[in-house]
Amino acid sequence: MESAPRQGDEGAPDAWIEFEPDVRDGLQGIEAGDELVLLSWLDCADRDVLVVHPRGDTSRPPAGVFTTRSHHRPNPIGLHRVEVLSFDGPRMKVDNLEALDGTPIIDVKPVLSAEISER
Amino acid sequence: MESAPRQGDEGAPDAWIEFEPDVRDGLQGIEAGDELVLLSWLDCADRDVLVVHPRGDTSRPPAGVFTTRSHHRPNPIGLHRVEVLSFDGPRMKVDNLEALDGTPIIDVKPVLSAEISER
């Protein structure tokens, strides 16, 4: 995981997401420009890790994984706030997605209006 | 699910979360006052639903579940932004948690500083 990407707020690439046929109806109404929260399953993570050096920096004291966004955690679910750029059939292009290629996306949610208004 | 709670931004009660012994080390460093994102597994959800009336309002047109925060979705994971109020041994008290009693909490994450600064 040395080359694993960092948190989305540090700048991340565009990515294509391909949806399985059996969930595509759930995308009805999503349009380019929408802001979404994607949940990923970080399948390269070590699920036995409970304490890490934050961001892999061994000069920082160890901390519980629940105080960090480390991929290594008992249930390795990633949160990614993205904007929808375009669609191509069953594929959706988004910006700012920090995830290794092939990482499963397990849920898609809208950003709540209250969260937007907090900005 | 008629009595299921609504989204957290609409006001929600305090709640106690009890952690299993085998993950408690991951909590090291969490303190009262910290803002966290809790991920829950909404085990009462209907995972076959792909289209809903937003917020159960049948006067609104049906929409894909991925455009809503409906509990009913293929992978029924809830996101809850909370503040830590106190600890009592393995139990953590948080505010503003909209979830049915007994709902499993599957991950705990810090709110990223960039998200805070966006407010």
Residues of B in contact with A107 (CB under 8 A): 66, 73-75, 77
pLDDT at position B113 is 63
Nearest CA to CA, how far is B4 from chain A (Å)?
18
Interface test mutation site (partner B, options A67, A79, A115, max chain B beta carbons within 10 A) = A67
A12-67 residue pLDDT tens: 899 999 999 999 999 999 999 999 999 999 999 999 999 999 888 899 999 999 99
**Cβ distance of B62 and A107 shorter than 8 Å:** no
CB pairs under 8 A between A and B: 111
Taking 50 as the threshold, does the pLDDT of residue A8 lie above it?
no
Nearest CA to CA, how far is A34 from chain B (Å)?
9
A83-105 residue pLDDT tens: 999 999 999 999 999 889 999 99
Neighbours of B65 (CB within 10 A): 28
Residue type at A49?
V
pTM, to two decimals: 0.86
Taking 90 as the threshold, does the pLDDT of residue B8 lie above it?
no
Taking 50 as the threshold, does the pLDDT of residue A116 lie above it?
no
* Option in A34, A50, A112 nearest B69 (CB): A112
B77-103 residue pLDDT tens: 999 999 999 999 999 999 999 889 999
**Torsional class of B114: left (φ above 0), alpha (ψ -120 to 50), beta (otherwise):** alpha
* Residue A11 or residue A35, greater confidence: A35
What are the C-alpha distances in Å from B67 to residues A31, B43, B105?
10, 20, 23
Nearest residue to A21 (alpha-carbon basis) of B50, B65, B46 = B50
Which stretches of chain B are DSSP H helices? 113-117
Residues of A in contact with B63 (CB under 8 A): 28-29
pLDDT at position B15 is 97
B35-49 residue pLDDT tens: 999 999 999 999 999
pLDDT at position B112 is 80
Residues of A in contact with B23 (CB under 8 A): 50, 74
Nearest CA to CA, how far is A6 from chain B (Å)?
12
ipTM of the complex: 0.84
